[in-house]
A and B are shown apart, each in its own frame.
Chain A
Amino acid sequence: MKYWYETRAIAHRILTELLRQQRTLILWVIFPVSMLLLNGFILAEGSKITTTEAFKIAAPSTLVGAALFFSSLGGTISTIVAERESKTIKRLFISPLAGISYFLGIFVAYGCVGIGQSLLVYTIAALFGVKFAGSWLLGMIIIFCSIGSYVGMGFLLGTQFARRTEDVNSLVAGFGVPLLMLGGAFVPTSFLPKELLLITQFNPIYHMNEALLKVSYDAEDLNNYDLRLHFVFLVGFLIVSLAGGWLAYRRMLITERRL
């Protein structure tokens, strides 16, 4: 119960801060909506397909490739950097708060943001006639695996590479934008040259996009070889990023545990 109360307190605090500041939340609404509309219309025009088809393809990549990337990864980095800058993290170290609760609290907070963004993206897609074709459960698992991976990566980057708020932008842009391009968040990977497609196979965002696309568009389940491959890569990446995030957090404890 201790972990549950602590997790809830951390998540509640982050969400309250976001709601109070409003600006970030508004931008996290504007970003996926504009990305989905742009992706959908460009894809419909460029590929000569119907808008429904285009939005069906654009929705997964807009959600996991772009929206969740900036909210879950960028948000986690911002939370950690803000705590370090304001030094409130030291007060957390003094308290009996367990590290696992801190991690889970951030995951739950950005999970809530992610659910909101998922509902938003698929509601708008539904307005263009899109229906989620496959298993909702599998789709949600993929979305939560993506959020978990981003939070883990956020811990790693936030604790090791970002000390000031200004670092967040450069870090997200430097790491993120090329990965998003190669992951198919802005243009479908079918547009990429062969050489880049090879690199893309090692890009977790590509596998997140493809896994959700296969479930939502092709109505595939885990019996499908391609989907299984993407899903296994995603789970593997989730484990690696959680372990990396946790180790990075432990390392930060050693250096920051001073008043």
Chain B
Amino acid sequence: MLKIQGLSKFFGDRQVLKDINLHIPSGEIYGLLGRNGAGKTTIINIICNLITPDSGAITIDNQPLGVTTKSLIGIVPQENLLYESLTCAENLDFFATLYGLKGQQKQQKIQECLESVNLGDRSKSIVGTLSGGMKRRVNMAIALVHSPKLVILDEPTTGLDIEARYQIWELINQLRYQGITLLLTTHLLEEAERLCQRIGILKDGQLLIEGNLPELRTVIPAAAILIMHTPLEEMAIARGQSLGFSHHRYGSDLAFWLPEQKSLQEIVSLFDGIAIDSVSVQPVRLENIYVELTRERLELPSALSSSLIS
């Protein structure tokens, strides 16, 4: 559905995108992760034909990027870009007209979209009177009103409470089941983990790695991660090293990469004599991979690196 080949972009002397290659097949949810300024929004701007790349080619549904591809894309921006004094239906009606929908077909599509975001009964509500979660759903409905083949979700749940977030996640999954291709950018790694079939991590305009979660997990040579809180960190680190556990930090958490799965009982006995406030063992999560990759470049095994970055 979406093919990006050799995409590069400079802003002045600064290269913000470096030879990006990406292929998202139909019906896939692809997560694009990276710190602020990594180049995610620049990629979206280029796909939306808002800025032109310096080199590279993009095709959407086998059509080269241009005015015609605008109607193939639906975008859910970070902010709710809505006309607050209009009703939900009027907002959708306005954008549907801009995308060339007319008459009965337009009215049907508006109602369908509002129902798909669970706002069927709020079509006549003024947008300014809705809650943040509802506005975000109207924002989403606008992106869908012209039946796009590719939907770009730019941090769709930022600033929402957990209930509203669950609703948006459910909607995103429904879209996937309808065969729509989705490109999702987010800072919420749990969101990417839950929703995306494949994930790409950008750093300084470069796609460091991409793959599904099991593939990404191979980046960290550990069977599990031990998280420990102790007042005697130095002692714990020394003990961990003597046991062959490499230590890392995730925020204020002290973590050890465990080469093999261990039970909590085993761990407590291995760290015998060190006062431990709390300890937990968790699988390697996207968060760990993301932090390691964006903090500093890991020494990826060359075979793995070339197979993951296509």
Contact = CB atoms under 8 A, between A and B. Distances in A.
Given A96-B70, A258-B45, A259-B45, A91 B51 contact: no
Contacts of A87: 77, 79, 81
A96 B98 CA distance: 7
A20 interface: yes
A86 B70 contact: no
B85 A9 contact: no
A88 B83 CA distance: 7
A93 B98 contact: no
B94 A94 contact: no
B70 A94 contact: yes
A13 to B, nearest CB: 5
A257 interface: yes
Contacts of A6: 97-98
B142 A2 contact: no
A21 B99 CA distance: 27
Given A87-B81, A96-B67, A258 B97 contact: no
B78 to A, nearest CB: 8
A86 B98 contact: no
Interface string A248-259: 000000000111
Query: Which of A8, A88, A259 has most B Cβ within 10 Å?
Result: A259
A9 to B, nearest CB: 4
Contacts of A44: none
B91 to A, nearest CB: 9
Contacts of B79: 87
A101 to B, nearest CB: 9
Contacts of A97: 98
B113 to A, nearest CB: 15
Interface in B71-105: 71, 73, 75, 77-79, 81-86, 90, 94-95, 97-100, 102
Interface string B280-301: 0000000000000000000000
Contact of A13 (B75, B86, B126): B86
Interface in A8-40: 8-9, 12-13, 16-17, 20-21
A90 interface: yes
B44 interface: yes
Interface residues on A, range: 20 to 34
Contact of A86 (B45, B84, B90, B102): B84
B83 A259 contact: no
A259 B83 CA distance: 17
A259 B70 contact: no
Contacts of A93: 50
A5 interface: yes
14 contacts: A9-B97, A16-B90, A87-B77, A88-B82, A91-B81, A91-B142, A93-B50, A94-B75, A95-B70, A257-B45, A258-B50, A259-B41, A259-B45, A259-B78
A92 interface: yes
A91 B70 CA distance: 12
Nearest to A92: B98
B86 A20 contact: yes
A20 B85 CA distance: 7
Given A5-B102, A259-B154, A94 B50 contact: yes
Nearest to A254: B51
Nearest to B81: A91
A13 B99 contact: no
A238 to B, nearest CB: 27
B117 interface: no
B48 interface: yes
A138 B173 CA distance: 61
Interface in A71-96: 86-88, 90-96
